Amino acid sequence: MMDVNNMLTLPRRLLAAARKRLGNGSKAPIGPLAPVDKLTYADWVSRYATIGLSERRRLIALQQKLAKHPIISVLIDAADASPEHIELSLRSIDEQIYDRWEAILVNPPADFRVRKGGTPVKVFAAKRSDRTVFAELLKAASGTLIAPMVAGDQLSPAALTAFALGFAASPDAKALYADEDRIDSAGRRSDPWFKGAWSPDLVLAQAYTLRSCILSRETVLAAASQDTDRWSLTNAVYATWLRLAAQDDVSIQHLPFVLYHRRADAPRAEPDAFTDTVRTSPLAGRHGLEIHSDDSGETGWRHVVWPTPHPEPRISLCVPTRDRHQLLSTCIEGLRHQTDWPDLEILIVDNGSVEAETHAYLNSLGSDPRVKVLRDDGPFNFSRLNNLGAAASTGALFGLINNDLAVKEPGWLREMASHAARSDVGAVGALLHYGNDTVQHAGVVLGIGVASHIHKGLPAGEAGYHGRVAVAQDVTCVTAACLITRHEVYQRLGGLDEQSFPVAYNDIDFCLRVRSSGLRIIYTPHAHLYHLESASRGLDDGGARRARLERDKAAMLERWGDKIAEDPFYSPNLSDKATDCRLAFPPRVALPWAEG
C-alpha cells in the first residue's frame, strides 16, 4: 500500500540536509512586491528561481558534501529532432553544475553528426523496434541513475545536482520527479507546471511525471522487457512510470522545484500512443481496465474505467433533509429514476420537517421498497444524521448525498462505485457544478483557509490548472455533499464526528482519518452532478452559525495542526490565498541552494 502519510517529507529533508551541509539557513528572498495580481511568472522566476553565481557556489558546496556521487545517464529522445534542438539539449547538459554525467542521444536522424569540440555524447541508434531495444540502450548507459529528456528541451543548471541530492535524502526511492515550465528561443520562461505528490491514478490519466524526472537503474531495468509493437524512448519511459503505478509500497518522491524547461512550441497534447501504452500496462492487465482517450484530441488525457464488482453490491445513499420538498424531490427522483445502478437503497433522514408538502412527498415514497425514511427531530447535526443513516443501511457501499444535488448523467454512481470498491481507496468524490454551470467541487485543498474547494467558480468545460478539474487523481479530501465509501471503512473509522464537527469540516476530518488509516482518496470528474450548495439550510454567514463555524474551525486546528497547513497534492509554489492555482508570492518552500 502506498504511504499516504509521508508525502511532504523529501523537500523538508532535502532542505534540512542542505542547511546542515552549508551550516546556515536557506530561505526565499524577501522584499517589496508589486500587487500580487500584477505579478507574472517572469517576476516569480526572477525572485525565487534564478540561478546566479551565489546559487552555483552553494550547489557546488552541496554536491561536494554528498557521500556518493552517482553517474547520471541523460538519455535524449532525438527521434525526428533538428540539429538545433539537439544542440540546445546538449548545451543544457554541458552547463550542469553536477559533473558526474553522461549524455546519450537516442535515435537521432541518420544524417546527424556530433559536433567536434561540443558536448561529449554517445549515440544509440536502435536497429529494431521491439522490447529488446530498451535493454540494449541500458547496456550502453553506465549511470546508476537515468534521466530522460526530449531533444529541444533543456535542463535547469541545478537539475542533476537536485536529483542527486534527492536520492541521497531518500535512498529507497525508485524515482523522483520535479516541476517544469516552457522556454522559448529567447530564453523566456512560461507556463509553469507545479505538481503535487505521487498519484498512481493521475499518471494513468495524464503523463505528469514523464518530464523532469529521474529513475534508478534498477527501476528502468525492471521495465525494460515490456512488450511493445513500436518502441520509442519517451513511450518506454512512460511505460516505466505505469509499471511503478502498479506497485505497492513504492517510494516515489516529488521535488517542488522547476528543473526542466520544455520547448515552448512543443505539442501540448499527449501522443495517441500513450493510450495504447496504458492499455498494455501491468495495472490495466491485472484489473481489466478500460482506457478511453480524450474525444476532442486536444489533450490526449485518458478516462480510466475501473471494473465494478460482480455481482454488483448494494449501495446505500444517505440523504439528510429538512423541508424544501422541491429541492429534495429533484434529488431523490434523480436517484430513483436517473441513476444507473441495479441495487440501490435510499435512506432519507428527515431532521424535523414541518411543511405539509414535504410530509406528503415523503409519504408518497412508501411504495418504493428502495426508500427508507428515518426521523430525527433533534438539533441539526450533519454528522449525526449521516451516522444514523449508516447504522440503518444494508449496502456494502455507503454514500453521503446532500439533498440539494441533482443528477446530470446516469453513470455517475457506477463511476464512483468502481473506485470505492478498490481495496486501497477509502473515499471517492465527484465533480459538482452549481446551477449556473461553474465548478462547486473538484476536490478539496488543505491550507487555503482551513480547506477550500479548488477552482471554485471555474466555467464548465474548462480543465483547470494543467487538467486539475478534468482528470481523475488522488486528493487529500473531498466534500461530503457527494462522497462514496465502503460501509466497513465508514464504520471502522467511526463515521463522521458528531461531537467535534456537528456541521462544518466533518468531511475534512473524515477524509484525514481515511488517509491516516493508509487508504487513498480519489476525485473523479467522470461522476458529474449539480449541487446548489447549502440551499436547504443556508450559508454559515452570521450570528450563531458563524460562531459555530469558528468552533468547528478551532477543533480542526487542534486535532490536525500541521497536516492542515500544507496539502501534499497542492504545490507550495501555488497560492494559499486563492483557489485558482495562481502563483505563490513567496512560495512556501525554499530552494535548498537559494541565497539566505
Which has the minimum average pLDDT: 281-295, 480-494, 513-527, 570-584? 281-295
Residue 496 included in any domain: yes
How open is the CA angle 417-423-372, to the nearest 5 degrees? 40
283 & 425 share domain: no
Answer whether 0.75 is exceeded by the pTM.
Answer: yes
pLDDT-derived band of residue 47, with 50, 70 and 90 as boundaries?
very high
What digits encode the pLDDT tens for the residues 408-442?
999 999 999 999 999 999 999 999 999 999 999 99
368 & 494 share domain: yes
Highest mean pLDDT: which of 17-31, 41-55, 294-308? 41-55
276 & 320 share domain: no
Residue 36 included in any domain: no
The total number of structural domains in the chain stands at 2
362 & 295 share domain: no
Residue 282 included in any domain: yes
Q: Mean pLDDT score of the chain, rounded to an integer?
A: 91
Q: Which residue has the higher pLDDT, 498 or 232?
A: 498
pLDDT-derived band of residue 538, with 50, 70 and 90 as boundaries?
very low
284 & 326 share domain: no
| pLDDT score recorded for residue 13 | 60
> Over 80: is that where the pLDDT of 484 sits?
yes
273 & 358 share domain: no
DSSP letters for 324-362: -HHHHHHHHHHHHHS---SSEEEEEEE-S---HHHHHHH
Residue 577 included in any domain: no
Residue 578 included in any domain: no
Q: What residue numbers bound the domain in which 423 lies?
A: 315-534
pLDDT-derived band of residue 388, with 50, 70 and 90 as boundaries?
very high
Strand, coil or helix: what is 313? coil
Q: Which long-range contacts (CB under 8 A, 24 or more apart) does 49-55 make?
A: 49/257, 49/258, 49/591, 51/156, 51/157, 51/158, 51/593, 54/595, 55/158, 55/591, 55/593, 55/594, 55/595
Q: Which three cell numbers stand for residue 413?
A: 454512481
Last residue of a domain, one of 494, 511, 534: 534
> Over 80: is that where the pLDDT of 295 sits?
no
521 & 385 share domain: yes
What digits encode the pLDDT tens for the residues 189-202?
999 999 999 999 99
Which has the minimum average pLDDT: 58-62, 450-454, 508-512, 591-595? 591-595
Last residue of a domain, one of 484, 504, 534: 534
Last residue of a domain, one of 509, 534, 559: 534
Q: What is the CATH number of the domain that holds 82?
A: 3.90.550.10
pLDDT, average across residues 295-320 = 93
Reading phi first (left if > 0) and then psi (alpha if -120 to 50, else beta), residue 543 is in left
Residue 16 included in any domain: yes
191 & 231 share domain: yes
pLDDT-derived band of residue 229, with 50, 70 and 90 as boundaries?
low
173 & 198 share domain: yes
Residue 582 included in any domain: no
pLDDT, average across residues 248-272 = 95
265 & 371 share domain: no
Residue 72: its H or E element: strand 72-77
Residue 109 included in any domain: yes
Q: Which three cell numbers stand for residue 370?
A: 428502495
364 & 244 share domain: no
286 & 338 share domain: no
